[in-house]
């Protein structure tokens, strides 16, 4: 805790500050040093009792949403939660701007509803719903710590999500135009993403021993752990992805030019016992220049890196690819997921079957229109 003297026009004042969860918190301003020291000691005592569970969490008006969420995310990271990256992204983009400085115990159901209705004006209903799930998970964890008594998300209705139409590049010419505008250090990443359908974090954690150029297979089994080389895929299962013609040449050229790193795209170096670079390139280092390349290529500004996966799947089907094979390539747990997302992009799916189950109506048959 800190008692700080400040000079004002009407005389000196003493401000009291403390630290909680690694963050500086303001306690109050007092007219005398004695009052400030007494407030300092009272605050210390109160916080110790709250930490021991001797006082109800409502007393702790100094614990902000930002401080609570920081501790929650640290816990998820320490325990190796596969949701850490997703939760961190949603917190940074949608939750901290709205609630960061708000005392945790002052967030009510109406505040969540207001946040929901304002946020859906900027992003899709599906994004709002998944972020609300993240918010609810945080509040549930806080209840377990006796920081809250009730979850403000309970009783807040989820928004009705419309069927999503994913943006995608509908021609190989558009892909080539995009690649031409990409900086060299991400061009091969983008080519592999759009040419295999794997996810960004899966690609960035690929190692050369995952690449079998002879049998034209990529083994995907890492990712979703920040910038480390450990972890699993989203489904938790390893899968093998074929190396298509467009990607084969890219990977061969990369292998000829590779350095000492075991990673295809190393992003940092560890000067430890002479080891080669083993830190993956960060997602931000790919995402930011990609967005600029999209604009320069004259493509829709809403195009995301993940939409390259949709582009691969869509062009695969439009070009006559089998949806069951596509499901295995994408790593979906069920082909029904693939069908629900992409089958509508294959308008000629049944063209070769139109002549099946053939019969003829009798020549003199009449077709009646039944009306009520």
pLDDT digits (tens, 9 = 90+) for 8-32: 777 788 888 776 656 676 667 777 8
Cα 294 to its chain centre, rounded Å, is 20
In this model, does residue 167 exceed pLDDT 90? Answer: no
pLDDT of 226: 40
CA-based nearest residue to 198, from 264, 291, 260: 264
Q: What is the pLDDT of residue 368?
A: 53
Distances in whole angstroms, Cα of residue 241 to Cα of each of 171, 206, 215, 311, 372: 22, 12, 11, 16, 56
In 100-244, which ranges are continuous DSSP H helix?
109-119, 125-144, 172-181, 184-196, 200-204
Q: What was the pLDDT predicted at 256?
A: 92
Q: How many CB atoms lie within 10 A of CB 30?
A: 18
Does residue 133 carry a pLDDT above 90? yes
Specify the pLDDT at position 352: 59
Supply the pLDDT for residue 7: 81
Question: How much is the pLDDT for 13?
Answer: 82
Picking from 193, 209, 223, the residue whose alpha carbon sits closest to that of residue 255 is 209
How far is it, in rounded angstroms, from Cα 243 to Cα 249?
A: 10
- Give the count of beta carbons closer than 10 Å to the beta carbon of residue 196: 25
Q: Using 50, 70 and 90 to split pLDDT, how confident is the model at 227?
A: very low
Average pLDDT for the chain: 81
On whether the CB atoms of residues 154 and 67 are closer than 8 A, the answer is no
* Predicted model pTM: 0.53
Tell me the pLDDT band of 211, cut-offs 50, 70 and 90.
very high
**Among 257-261, 307-311, 356-360, which stretch is predicted with the lowest mean pLDDT?**
356-360
- Phi-psi sector, 28: left (phi>0), alpha (psi -120 to 50), beta: left
Please return the burial class of 145, using the count of CB atoms within 10 Å of its CB with bins 0-12, 13-18 and 19+: middle
- CA distances, 372 to each of 366, 367, 368, 369 (Å): 19, 16, 13, 10
Residue 44's pLDDT is what? 77
Residue, of 61 and 151, whose pLDDT is higher = 151
pLDDT digits (tens, 9 = 90+) for 86-126: 899 889 989 999 999 888 888 989 899 999 998 888 777 88
Neighbours of 28 (CB within 10 A): 13
Residue 327 pLDDT grade (very low, low, confident, very high; cuts 50, 70, 90): very high
- Please tell me the predicted confidence (pLDDT) of residue 60: 52
Q: How deeply is 312 buried, as exposed, middle or buried, from its count of CB atoms within 10 A (0-12, 13-18, 19+)?
A: buried
Rounded to whole angstroms, the Cα distance separating 40 from 61 reads 15
Which pLDDT score is estimated for 344? 60
What residue spans of 207-304 are helical by DSSP H?
Answer: 245-257, 283-296
User: What pLDDT is attached to residue 269?
Assistant: 47
Query: What is the Cα–Cα distance from 85 to 282, expressed in whole angstroms?
Result: 12
**Cβ-proximal residues to 135 (8 Å cutoff; 6+ apart), any chain:** 95, 112, 153
**pLDDT tens digit string along 260-316?**
889 999 985 444 444 445 688 889 899 999 999 999 999 988 899 999 999 999 899
Does the structure show a pLDDT above 60 at 349?
no
Contact 201, 263 (CB under 8 A): no
pLDDT for 122: 79
Is residue 145's pLDDT more than 60? yes
Confidence category of residue 229, pLDDT binned at 50, 70, 90: very low
pLDDT at 62: 65
Strand partners, 26: 17
């Amino acid at each position: 805790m800190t008692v700080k003297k400040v000079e004002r026009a009407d005389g000196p004042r003493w401000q009291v500050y403390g630290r909680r969860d690694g963050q500086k918190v303001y306690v109050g301003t007092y007219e005398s040093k004695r009052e400030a020291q007494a407030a300092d000691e009272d605050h210390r005592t109160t916080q110790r009792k709250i930490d021991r569970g001797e006082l109800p969490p409502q007393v702790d008006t100094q614990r902000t949403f930002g401080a609570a969420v920081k501790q929650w995310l640290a816990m998820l990271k320490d325990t190796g939660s596969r949701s850490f990256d997703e939760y961190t992204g949603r917190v940074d983009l949608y939750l901290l701007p709205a609630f960061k400085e708000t005392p945790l115990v002052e967030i009510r159901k109406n505040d969540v509803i207001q946040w929901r209705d304002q946020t859906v004006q900027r992003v899709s209903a599906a994004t709002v719903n998944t972020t609300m799930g993240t918010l609810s998970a945080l509040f549930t964890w806080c209840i377990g710590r006796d920081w809250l008594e009730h979850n403000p998300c309970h009783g807040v209705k989820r928004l009705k999500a419309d069927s999503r139409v994913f943006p995608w590049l509908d021609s190989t010419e558009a892909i080539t135009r995009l690649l031409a505008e990409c900086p060299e250090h991400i061009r091969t990443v983008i080519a592999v993403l759009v040419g295999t359908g794997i996810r960004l974090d899966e690609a960035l954690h690929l190692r050369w021993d995952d690449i079998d150029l002879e049998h034209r297979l990529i083994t995907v089994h890492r990712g979703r752990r920040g910038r480390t080389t450990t972890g699993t895929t989203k489904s938790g299962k390893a899968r093998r992805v074929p190396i298509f013609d467009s990607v084969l040449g890219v990977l061969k050229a990369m292998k000829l030019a590779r350095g000492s790193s075991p990673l295809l795209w190393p992003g940092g170096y560890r000067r430890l016992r002479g080891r080669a670079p083993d830190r993956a390139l960060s997602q931000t280092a790919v995402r930011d220049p990609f967005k600029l390349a999209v604009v320069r290529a004259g493509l829709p500004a809403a195009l995301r890196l993940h939409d390259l996966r949709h582009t691969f799947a869509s062009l695969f089907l439009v070009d006559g690819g089998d949806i069951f094979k596509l499901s295995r390539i994408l790593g979906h747990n069920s082909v029904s997921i693939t069908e629900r997302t992409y089958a509508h992009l294959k308008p000629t799916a049944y063209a070769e079957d139109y002549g099946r189950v053939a019969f003829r109506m009798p020549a003199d048959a009449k077709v009646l229109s039944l009306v009520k």
